[in-house]
Amino acid sequence: MKNKVVTYLVVIISVIIIYQINRSERKQLDKFQQSFQVVEGRLGELFYQLQAIQYGMSQLSSLSNPLANEANLNFKRTEDNTCQISKNRSREQMYDFETNFLVVSDGSGCEPNSILHDKIIETIKIAPMMTFLAGRAEDVISLYFISMDKFVITSPKYNALVIKPSEFESKLFTRPYMQQIF
């Protein structure tokens, strides 16, 4: 009888110990998998950022940058004297999202040889990197480049459709982070 009780007791304690070891192992494995997923996500973000930098540098360093060529740009003046500038699709573009940006300014942005027009043409070279980041990174909803010269580059394009140059002062330049620049 004593032997049976001791045997049952040893079996019960062994089962409890094995259960605790398995449970602990599962918890550690779950923690490891969660950590692995976090690291994998961060590496993916880093990969996209490095790709964006490489892509942007290749766009900026090309001797004949097609984006700076005004023939590849579409200038549209709306009824309320808003200038909207976008890039036309071309066979040379590497990604679909390369044309997914819009520049918004007042009407003088659409006038060739105006100061604002020249500044936009000079600054529009950053648009490929913006569209790359906005088009590839899942956690980026949109990117804005707000110029003190009163034009905005946005990606994706649809975010700029609601921006009016008459609202630059009242909406964009009154934000706290813009006040710190002044």
Range of the domain at 35: 1-61
Q: Which of 4-13, 67-76, 100-109, 133-142 has the highest mean pLDDT?
A: 4-13
178 vs 30, higher pLDDT? 30
Q: What is the pLDDT of residues 17-29, one digit of tens each?
A: 999 999 999 999 9
Percentage of residues in the chain having pLDDT higher than 70: 75
In this structure, the answer to whether residues 81 and 31 fall within a common structural domain is no
pLDDT for the residue numbered 63: 45
In this structure, the answer to whether residues 101 and 173 fall within a common structural domain is yes
In this structure, the answer to whether residues 43 and 113 fall within a common structural domain is no
Contact 125, 59 (CB under 8 A): yes
State the Cα–Cα distance between residues 98 and 130, nearest whole angstrom. Answer: 9
pLDDT for the residue numbered 23: 93
Q: What is the pLDDT of residues 100-111, one digit of tens each?
A: 788 888 888 888
Q: Which of 39, 61, 83 is the last residue of a domain?
A: 61
State the Cα–Cα distance between residues 70 and 161, nearest whole angstrom. Answer: 21
pLDDT for the residue numbered 182: 47
In this structure, the answer to whether residues 174 and 100 fall within a common structural domain is yes
pTM of the model: 0.58
pLDDT for the residue numbered 47: 79
Q: Which of 36, 61, 86 is the last residue of a domain?
A: 61
Q: What is the largest distance, in Å, between two alpha-carbon atoms of the chain?
A: 105
In this structure, the answer to whether residues 96 and 170 fall within a common structural domain is yes
In this structure, the answer to whether residues 109 and 175 fall within a common structural domain is yes
Q: What is the pLDDT of residues 114-128, one digit of tens each?
A: 888 888 888 887 777
In this structure, the answer to whether residues 48 and 86 fall within a common structural domain is no
pLDDT for the residue numbered 31: 93
Q: What share of the chain is helix, strand, coil (3-state, %, to 5)?
A: 60, 15, 25
In this structure, the answer to whether residues 52 and 104 fall within a common structural domain is no
In this structure, the answer to whether residues 99 and 166 fall within a common structural domain is yes
Q: What is the pLDDT of residues 34-46, one digit of tens each?
A: 999 999 888 887 8
In this structure, the answer to whether residues 8 and 39 fall within a common structural domain is yes
pLDDT for the residue numbered 117: 86
Long-range contacts, stretch 111-119, CB < 8 angstroms, 24+ apart: 112/70, 116/149, 116/150, 116/151, 119/147, 119/149, 119/151
In this structure, the answer to whether residues 17 and 55 fall within a common structural domain is yes
In this structure, the answer to whether residues 53 and 79 fall within a common structural domain is no
Q: Which of 13, 41, 61 is the last residue of a domain?
A: 61
Q: Tell me the average pLDDT of the chain.
A: 78
What total number of domains does the chain contain? 2
